[in-house]
Structure 1
Amino acid sequence: MLHDTVRVNAPLRQVYDQWTRFEEFPRFMHGVVAVERTGARHLHWRTNIAGVRRDFDAEIVDQLPDERIAWRSVGGGVHQRGVVTFTPVDARHTRVRLAMEVEPEGVTERAAAALGIVSARVSGDLQRFKHFVEDRHAATGAERGRIRPSEATGPQPAGGGAPEAPGRGTPPA
């Protein structure tokens, strides 16, 4: 389980709205080539990490505006699930917490995970997100719809499809 937290010097709504601009992820997530929305709750990811190219799909299993977004991978040989939560610190600051479970594939990915490289990448991505948001006066857009776990396609893993967010409890089903 990977977790990290960052305090962003921007209001909750701006921070949440920017996170929902998945197409912007390559601007602050290393190794992410592109993220395309393929439906109201589906995303197609293209990554290139250490020369390993992958395409996979992800499904948003829970989205509550200004509070949380939970997802899981659905194909492409990538096995991950996670939840990002947003908490106002005050009117001008927001805490972003990310919890992810990632199953590394192959010897190289297992070694990278064991050495803490994956955890460091997640931490770096959150720091770059913080700076990305703070360098702007407004989000580049927003997806504010409510998505409930009961609306997700396919069988639901225990816990609503995402790991528990540190300090927030398991997302309600």
Structure 2
Amino acid sequence: MSTVKETVDVEVPVHTAYNQWTQFEDFPNFMEGVEEVTQLDDRHNHWTTKIGGVRREFDTEIVDQMPDDRITWRSIGGDSQQRGSVRFQRLDDLHTRVELTMDVEPTGAVEKGGDMLGVIDRRVKGDLRRFKDYIEHRGGESGAWRGRIRPGDPGAPL
């Protein structure tokens, strides 16, 4: 499994950065290779990606979510194995640090070769730069979900 960690500082308040990140269906606007994200319920999303000509569909489950602090997820089913966390740190009233950590299991020769060449790392860095541009130029979030999900909640993994 390959681990990628990247940080970007955005010029918006922490609640704005967090609120925008909860709008999963907007991810194709700043994540390269993400064709569609469909939010199934508060905890589950269905992803369609096309990276390097390889199309994948998979679901993710949010396992821990605290407003203005973090969102942690894992993939379930499908043909993509990953887990990760995005954290939001208030720097001051108008600036937020966004830190994304992902563990990805590349499958197949093309993905494994791309991982060895740093393709996954560069893609995550680019996605965070595009998120910065996206949220700063919007001037505000497109929506928000401020619910709390805890490990051990009904329907959550233990």
The equivalent of 1:136 in structure 2 is 138
Counterpart residue number, 1:39: 41
- Contact preservation (8 Å) 1:22, 1:37: yes
- Cα distance in structure 1, aligned partners of 2:88 and 2:42: 21
Q: Distance in 2 between matches of 1:43 and 1:96?
A: 21
- Indicate if the aligned counterparts of 2:20 and 2:142 stay in contact, CA closer than 8 A: yes
Q: Distance in 2 between matches of 1:89 and 1:154?
A: 31
Deviation, 1:50, is 1.1
Q: Percent same amino acid at aligned positions?
A: 52
> For the residues of structure 2 that align with 1:152 and 1:32, how far apart are their CA atoms?
30
CA distance in 1 between partners of 2:133 and 2:8 (Å): 11
* TM-score normalised by structure 2 residue count: 0.96
The answer to whether the Cα contact below 8 Å between 1:61 and 1:152 also exists between their aligned partners in 2 is no
Question: What is the DSSP-based 3-state SS (H/G/I as helix, E as strand, rest coil) of the residue aligned with 1:131?
Answer: helix
1:23-172 mapped onto 2 (5 Å cutoff): 23-151=25-153, 153=155, 156=158
Distance in 1, matches of 2:157 and 2:149, equals 16
Contact 2:44 / 2:60 at 8 angstroms: preserved in 1?
yes
What's the TM-score, normalizing by structure 1?
0.88
In 1: Cα distance, 2:88 partner to 2:57 partner? 28
Q: Is the 8 A contact 2:150 2:156 kept in 1?
A: no
Deviation at 1:151, TM superposition (A): 2.2
Aligned length: 156
Gaps (5+ residues) in structure 2? none
Question: What are the residue-to-residue correspondences of 1:15-26 with 2, within 5 Å?
Answer: 15-26=17-28
Q: Measure, in 1, the Cα distance between the counterparts of 2:154 and 2:54.
A: 29
- Residues 60 and 152 of structure 1 are in contact (CA less than 8 Å); yes or no, is this contact kept in structure 2? no
Give the CA deviation at 1:153.
Answer: 4.2
SS in 2 for 1:85: strand
Q: Which runs of 5+ in 1 are unaligned?
A: 157-173
CA distance in 1, matches of 2:115, 2:150: 31
Q: What is the root-mean-square deviation of aligned Cα atoms in Å?
A: 1.1
- The more displaced of 146-155 and 130-139 is 146-155
CA–CA distance in structure 2, aligned partners of residues 115 and 52 of structure 1: 17
1:51 Cα deviation after fit: 1.0
Which ranges of 4 or more aligned residues in structure 1 deviate by more than 3 Å? 152-156
